[in-house]
């Protein structure tokens, strides 16, 4: 079985009861913020590229730019295409040099999801590209803020079979977590998460880390979560900074200063998350 760098980074974090922060970036200001925070915490990070960003006219350039910038960091910076459902997009991402893809078959029946993931893994892993899959349904929007209710939970028996047959390096699980803002107080199924951890050999991924209390995040990491996805809180920091800067003085705004302030605002959020994820030195 091929060992990808994606798997190595996640498994190393799992062994030390930490989680690799995975942050969705839409531009270079956000990328700089993530790398800056990661270097301060001496933490590996995963930069997530949303499918809508990759499908845009400059999507390939964005991925290649992220890869080039990450290569000049003092910490490990992996680039992953997130939540992609089409083989064509996965192949284009591979051509751009991504370190991992998320083959999202969560809307498919179990057998079709398994077959889709296995097909992607057979193609990607010999090229050194890691594969993440999702079992169960993590509801909500990745690119827009909005409240969401929890979807179908990951079934432990299915997760065991999926881990054995899919060839995936990482499994995104649904235990009450959602993308975007939570509708009401988050309530994760800790018994389900613990059972999945005890029965699965591969790294677990928790999507929807934005909005979960820090204590819940720490507990999830202690239960075997090795990858945590953050997007909503970064967007909130970004738009909050814009609202503050684009006030009455917007006509005289220094564009470079605006970019610096945006980066600073996001860096603060990322660094705080990395501390919670276990990167304290």
Residues 32-55: pLDDT tens digits?
999 999 999 999 999 999 999 999
Query: Strands (DSSP E) along 11-54, which ranges?
Result: 20-24, 45-49
Q: Which residue has the higher pLDDT, 64 or 186?
A: 64
Q: Is the pLDDT of residue 251 over 80?
A: no
The C-alpha atoms of residue 109 and residue 152 are separated, in whole angstroms, by 12
All domains in the chain, ordered by first residue: 5-276 (3.20.20.70)
- What is the DSSP-derived secondary structure letter of residue 4? P
The C-alpha atoms of residue 257 and residue 267 are separated, in whole angstroms, by 15
Average pLDDT along the chain: 91
Q: Point out the catalytic residue in the list 82, 104, 169, 216.
A: 82
Residue 82 a catalytic site member: yes
pTM assigned to the model: 0.92
Helix 110-124 / helix 156-166 crossing angle, nearest 10 deg = 30
The answer to whether the CB of 4 falls within 8 A of the CB of 129 is yes
- Name the band, by pLDDT with cuts 50, 70 and 90, for residue 225: very high
């Amino acid at each position: 079985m091929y060992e990808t760098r994606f798997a190595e980074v996640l498994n190393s974090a799992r062994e030390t009861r930490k989680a690799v922060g995975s942050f969705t970036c839409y531009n270079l200001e956000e990328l700089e913020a993530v790398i800056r925070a990661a270097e301060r915490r001496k933490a590996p990070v995963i930069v997530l590229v949303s499918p809508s960003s990759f499908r845009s006219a400059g999507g390939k350039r964005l991925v290649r730019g992220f890869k080039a910038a990450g290569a000049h960091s003092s910490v490990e910076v992996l680039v992953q295409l997130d939540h992609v459902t089409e083989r064509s997009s996965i192949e284009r991402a591979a051509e751009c040099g991504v370190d991992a893809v998320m083959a999202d078959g969560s809307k498919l029946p179990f057998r079709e999801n398994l077959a889709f993931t296995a097909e992607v893994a057979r193609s990607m892993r010999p090229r050194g590209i890691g594969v993440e899959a999702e079992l169960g349904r993590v509801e909500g929007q990745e690119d827009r803020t909005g409240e969401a209710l929890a979807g179908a939970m990951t079934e432990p028996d299915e997760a065991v079979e999926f881990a054995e047959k899919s060839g995936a390096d990482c499994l995104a699980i649904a235990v009450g977590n959602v993308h975007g803002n939570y509708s009401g107080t988050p309530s994760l199924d800790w018994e389900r998460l613990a059972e999945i951890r005890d029965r699965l050999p591969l790294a677990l991924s928790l999507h929807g880390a934005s909005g979960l209390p820090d204590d819940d995040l720490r507990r999830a990491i202690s239960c075997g979560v090795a990858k945590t996805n953050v997007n909503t809180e970064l967007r909130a920091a970004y738009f909050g900074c814009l609202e503050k800067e684009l006030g009455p003085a917007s006509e005289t705004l220094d564009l470079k200063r605006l970019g610096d302030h945006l980066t600073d605002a996001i860096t603060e959020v990322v660094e705080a998350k990395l501390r919670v994820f276990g990167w304290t030195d």
